[in-house]
Amino acid sequence: MKLRQAMPLLFLVAHTAIAHADDQSQIAKGEYLARAGDCIACHTNPGDPLFSGGLPMPTPFGTLFSTNITPDPDTGIGTWNADQFYGALHTGRFPDGGLMYPAMPYGSYTKVTRADSDAMFAYLRSVPPVHRQNKSDELRFPYDNRELILGWRTLFFSQGEYQPDPGKSAEWNRGAYLVEGLGHCGMCHTPINALGGNDASQAFQGGLIPMQNWYAPSLTSNKEAGLGEWSIDEIVDLLRTGVSRRGAVYGPMAEVVYDSLQYLNDADVRAMAVYLKSLGQGQPPGAQVSNIPVPESSLLLSFGQTVYQAHCAACHQSDGRGMPPQYPPLAANPSIQMQSAVNPIRMVLNGGLPPGTQGNPQPFGMPPFAQILSDDEVAAVVTYIRAAWGNHGAPVSSIEANALRSAPLD
């Protein structure tokens, strides 16, 4: 009799244990997906509690502040349900129907599946709640009128979950889902127009990131950073550790690797590499026409070589081959020869450090030279690097160097 009475209790205990294990599994999955989506980058202000928002995001239209997405019921998403969270990702609307500014990358997150959305919501519900009021955005007129977003959405937002390409492998499709959806790589690597929108017809063709004054190279053209000529292992190394024998990541991309990509599993990083490699097309940079007269060009290159030998050759070598992966090669490096010279100029001025990752815990950095080199010297050495050793980058001017001295360091 006692055994029979105990059986329902044992069943209840076992059932509760299984449910708890399922919940923990869902939360762990959601944490992984939140890492893949790099949610921490915008929703956590450095030094503040996780996901409590308040990060200022300067834009050409004014400053936006990220929101609190902890489960606090008054200031966070504690009163949201899974349907409302999915609606935010999928449609770019708040639970009350209000329109989100597209700084929230719902143009990419709309591709996220309902199952993945539910897992992310379960994870966010599990983090410590933080009672912190959201800051009001500081946008100029007329951009402070959210109703204008309706026009923006008509032009640039296409709602719908990712649909696998039946003509591609499961691995390719997984990579496309991560790159186009959760990873929202197109937010930076697709040109941004005057309205702050991305033209789908120019997807992954690169462009200047106006908020940060960095150039996100084209992923489709091998004349820039297209990865068609890279091996899968080289792409995996770059995504996972921030360095490879082909080069290293700096600036905003270093943050992406540090906060997000280094935490992805081997299968997902490889899937992303397979997809990214498939985007690459065209040949490496060909000869570009210089607008500098030949005698003046010769003087500029000679001056640039002098600066290079004095400050750069110790690490990158006189022949530009570097000592990869610690010191990236400059010879035959497409990122040095891109149409935009913003990134090499900024590296000379501000220096940089690849992210410290599990695969590269003690990265080698480049010191800043802004206090050492004049605008003329910066222009000369960057021009030399872009033209030496068979490189075919166009020259840069001291005016371009001077304009980037005041650029934000992040």
Contact (CB, 8 A) for 161 and 116: no
Over the stretch 60-69, which tens digit does the pLDDT of each residue have? 899 999 999 9
Q: Are residues 249 and 331 in the same domain?
A: no
- CA pair distance 206, 186, nearest whole angstrom: 9
Contact (CB, 8 A) for 352 and 335: no
Over the stretch 152-197, which tens digit does the pLDDT of each residue have? 999 999 999 999 999 999 999 999 999 999 999 999 999 888 878 8
Q: Are residues 51 and 144 in the same domain?
A: yes
Q: Is residue 4 part of a domain?
A: no
Provide the pLDDT for residue 6: 55
Q: Is residue 52 part of a domain?
A: yes
What is the count of structural domains for the chain? 3
Contact (CB, 8 A) for 206 and 215: yes
Q: Is residue 302 part of a domain?
A: yes
| CATH code of the domain covering residue 334 | 1.10.760.10
Where is the domain boundary, 254, 279, 304?
Answer: 279
Beta-strand ranges (E) seen in 242-325 are 243-244, 247-248
Residues in the chain: 410
Q: Are residues 86 and 117 in the same domain?
A: yes
Q: Which residue has the tokens 């490096």?
A: 333
Q: Are residues 64 and 141 in the same domain?
A: yes
Contact (CB, 8 A) for 234 and 248: no
| CATH code of the domain covering residue 236 | 1.10.760
Q: Which two tokens stand for residue 4?
A: 């029979």
Could you tell me the pLDDT band of residue 10, with boundaries at 50, 70 and 90?
very low
Q: Is residue 115 part of a domain?
A: yes
Where is the domain boundary, 279, 304, 323?
Answer: 279
Q: Give me the domain span that covers residue 206.
A: 170-279
Over the stretch 80-126, which tens digit does the pLDDT of each residue have? 999 999 999 999 999 999 999 999 999 999 999 999 999 999 999 99
Q: Are residues 175 and 273 in the same domain?
A: yes
